[in-house]
Amino acid sequence: MSDLTLKQYQQNIALLGQETVNAEFFNRETPVELVNEERDLILVVSGAIVQTPTVLFTGVAGEVLSALRVVKGSSNGRLWYCSSVVVGDSGLVIGITTTSASAAGATVSYMKDGEMTDSSWNWDTTKPIYCGTDGALTQTVPTSGFRQVVAVPLSPTKISIQIKEPIILL
């Protein structure tokens, strides 16, 4: 851990991979500290945690992928839609896409945790969000394959990604 300015912090983030940082409240010379604990990066300003940056991961699409869909990893290192009706997809969820991929082989970004907002959503804040068919986010409880909570709504248009253990449905 070392003391950095926000500008240096952002440069370090660029070296570590893609990450979004809302820096509008910080002066470019504000002293900050970068703490790296098992892939979680925490921004500390003047000794107080003021923001936990959202870490975006990137991968290679195995198929055309839309944003805001649940994806799984595979042995060939590519990302595919995870589908709750396919029992073999159980336990393979790695995140929710934040960008789309127009073709197999294209780069796609995804989040494993954190908050995500989309103005087109209208979530019921009393129900969890599941992985659905072909990676769709749904609040309809799956009745075949497996059931896996991937997020909880914080508001009708904002979710907190919280990937839980899957339950195989018999």
Domain that includes residue 46, residue range: 3-55
Same domain, residue pair 89 and 124: yes
Whichever domain contains 79, its CATH number is 2.40.300
Which tens digits make up the pLDDT trace of 30-74? Answer: 444 444 444 444 444 434 333 345 678 899 999 999 999 999 998
| Residues 80 and 162 grouped into a single domain | yes
Mean of pLDDT values over 133-143: 97
CB 112 within 8 A of CB 128: no
pLDDT band of residue 12 (cuts 50, 70, 90) is very low
Number of domains in the chain: 2
pTM: 0.70
Residues 84 and 140 in one domain: yes
Q: Are 44 and 110 members of one domain?
A: no
**How is residue 60 written in tokens?**
């290679």
Same structural domain for residues 103 and 80?
A: yes
Q: How many angstroms separate the CA atoms of 93 and 29, rounded?
A: 40
Q: 74-127: per-residue pLDDT in tens?
A: 888 899 999 999 999 999 999 999 999 999 999 999 999 888 999 999 999 999
The answer to whether residues 79 and 122 belong to one domain is yes
| Residue 23 shares a structural domain with residue 62 | no
What is the rounded average pLDDT for all residues in the chain? 78
85 and 12, same domain (yes or no): no
* Structure confidence at residue 54 (pLDDT): 66
Domain boundary among the residues 55, 76, 99 is at: 55
